[in-house]
Amino acid sequence: MEKKYHVVVVDDQFVSRSFFEIQVEMSKDFGLAASLASAEQAIAFCMEHPVDLVIMDVMMRVGLDGLTCAKTIHRNNPHVKIILTTSTAEAQWIDEAREAGIESFWFKEYSDVPLTQVMYRTMAGEHVFPDSPPNPGFGDAEKADLTERELEVLRGLTRNMTNEEIAEEMCISPHTVKRHVENLLMKTGYKNRIDLAVNAKALGVVVHEDDRTENRPPKGGNKA
């Protein structure tokens, strides 16, 4: 019997995790080593068992996020290859994953490349990243119609931040934030900032960094 790659799938959503399991089990060259619901479990598992590939979601409702844990796995087990995934259209994580040396990044809802193909290419030594970020519809506009600054403001709106709070975070004036919000409303056709925030979250257009990392332990706390 030929040796199969040992694969760990990590996702706190049962449906997505089951999808990953099926993709692994359908391939003759990959075997499911573990199916986990938290990223911290993946760190521990990789330290204690033979693992070749980890397929892990970025967003976790409880505990550390997948991107943070992927960096830890790479430090502890540099031979383990990682495919990060997300169901959102948040593209800012792509550069962070590249810089961290993560092998591949796959958008669940938007990728034209099948996951199994990404698995094979990743194990062959390729770094598989999307050619362009997802471009979902957002009201009367598309994500690509929005500027980087507008997307930053939109991330703040999804956290229910005031114009003053967004301005401080972005190092711009509250007046400039107000102008960006007005431009977002004009482009999308939404009625107010609440509509912008609710729909941005529902459609996964952007994710504020705090929504990804808010479950991290404080500095000086437990470390994986």
Structural domain spans, the chain: 5-134, 137-203
User: Tell me, what's the pLDDT at 213?
Assistant: 80
Which two tokens mark 123? Answer: 């194990």
Residue 75 to residue 46: CA distance in whole angstroms: 11
**What digits encode the pLDDT tens for the residues 162-206?**
999 999 999 999 999 999 999 999 999 999 999 999 999 999 999
- Of the candidates 92, 102, 108, the one whose C-alpha atom is nearest the C-alpha of residue 122 is 102
Residue 115 burial (CB count, 10 A): 20
Q: What is the maximum alpha-carbon separation in the chain?
A: 67
Residue 2: pLDDT band (50, 70, 90) is low
SS (H, E, C) the chain: CCCCEEEEEECCCHHHHHHHHHHHHHCCCEEEEEEECCHHHHHHHHHHCCCCEEEEECCCCCCCCHHHHHHHHHHHCCCCEEEEEECCCCCHHHHHHHHCCCCEEEECCCCCCCHHHHHHHHHCCCCCCCCCCCCCEECCEEHHHCCHHHHHHHHHHHCCCCHHHHHHHHCCCHHHHHHHHHHHHHHHCCCCHHHHHHHHHHHCCCCCHHHHHCCCCCCCCCCC
- Predicted confidence at residue 175, as pLDDT, reads 97
CA angle 139, 144, 145 (to 5 degrees): 60
- Tens of pLDDT, residues 110-128: 988 999 999 999 999 999 9
State which CATH number among 3.40.50.2300, 3.40.50.10540, 1.10.10.10, 2.60.120.580 fits the domain covering 5-134. Answer: 3.40.50.2300
Are the CB atoms for 163 and 177 separated by under 8 Å?
yes
Residue 221's pLDDT is what?
38
What local confidence, expressed as pLDDT, does residue 222 receive? 38
pTM of the model: 0.87
pLDDT at 215: 62
- The CATH code that applies to domain 137-203 is 1.10.10.10
